[in-house]
Amino acid sequence: MVDFAYVIAGSEATGGAGIQTDLKTFQELSAFGLGAVTCIVSFDPDNGWAHRFVPIAPDVIADQIQAATSAYDLDVVKIGMLGTPATIDVVADALSGQTWRHVVLDPVLICKGQEPGAALDTDRALRSQILPHATVVTPNLFEATVLSGRESIETVDDLIDAARRIGDLGPRYVLAKGGVELPGDDAVDVLFDGDDVTVLRAPKIGGKRVSGAGCTLAAAVTAELAKGASVTDAAQRAKHFTRDAIDARVAGHLPFEAARQHSR
Ligand code: PXL
């Protein structure tokens, strides 16, 4: 049996995040990876590494999805950066076009360095059109704050409350990530399954955000689900895999380091 892991996400040209990260993660976890590109992000070294963002035309996104879903019987998909309401329309259509065993949504609202204001229309469309299809959603601290409608998340209890509130919006599982920004010595993630909460902890590595860590986590969950794991097992394995990727991070000329995916 071939374990197909599909991803619909943006390209990040330095290879630290986005679909490059997803496919590397799938490969390291022995899933057959394939994906559709929704947008191209090219950081600008001449302008403080600001985001240059180019959306792919909606019909080209639809063509990519048609090719992949016609070629293989795909049933597990990760949704990464979508970026515009027009892209969200196309992807929502694709998600309703067949049944999926799992839709893992990494609710990317903005990437590092972008203005929070740019997230508003994407947030609205993501919430109304994509979130209802998700079986697992993996918000970071910022995304969990926005999606839950909380004013802030400062403690693990706040994170649990946010995960519960996001669960009320439709997804079966919420894996909310505290990351380096949630105070404490551990990087804490909480998994809410509609009834119970499991708290996943691992000691923080450094105090800075590492590019691609969130993409890696959601992609690793996707690969494990494709291979048949339960969501709880997938989340636990993905946390270990992501921690290893952060530990092996690479530095270049960017103002942040990038996770490096590798299997042990
Ligand atoms: O890390 C979030 C992210 C996801 N996808 C793409 C990105 C980024 C951040 O830069 O560029 C394509």
DSSP character string of 90-144: HHHHHHHTS--SEEEE------TT--GGGGHHHHHHIIIIIGGG-SEE---HHHH
What is the distance in A from the centroid of ligand 1 to the CA of 195? 31
Domain boundaries, the chain: 4-247
Mean pLDDT by 10 residues, the chain (264 residues): 95 98 98 98 95 95 98 98 94 97 92 64 90 97 94 98 96 97 97 97 95 98 98 98 97 98 85
pLDDT attached to residue 54:
93
Contact assessment for residue 141 and residue 155, using Cβ atoms and an 8 Å cutoff: no
What is the distance in A from the centroid of ligand 1 to the CA of 12? 6
Mutate to test the pocket of ligand 1, among 91, 110, 215 (most ligand atoms within 8 A of CB): 215
Handedness of CA 247, 251, 254, 255 (dihedral sign): positive
pLDDT attached to residue 183:
96
| Chain centroid offset of residue 242 CA | 12
Mutate to test the pocket of ligand 1, among 11, 40, 87, 108 (most ligand atoms within 8 A of CB): 108
What is the distance in A from the centroid of ligand 1 to the CA of 112? 8
What is the distance in A from the centroid of ligand 1 to the CA of 1? 31
pLDDT tens for 187-236 read 999 999 999 999 999 999 999 999 999 999 999 999 999 999 999 999 99
Domain 4-247 grouped into CATH 3.40.1190.20:
yes
What is the distance in A from the centroid of ligand 1 to the CA of 18? 5
Mutate to test the pocket of ligand 1, among 7, 37, 41 (most ligand atoms within 8 A of CB): 41
What is the distance in A from the centroid of ligand 1 to the CA of 81? 6
C-alpha to C-alpha distance for 158 and 203, rounded to whole angstroms:
19
The closest-lying atom of ligand 1 relative to the alpha carbon of residue 41 is: 11
Q: Give all strands of the β-sheet with 197-203 in edge-to-edge order.
A: 50-55, 32-44, 4-12, 76-79, 102-105, 136-137, 173-177, 186-192, 197-203
pLDDT attached to residue 120:
79
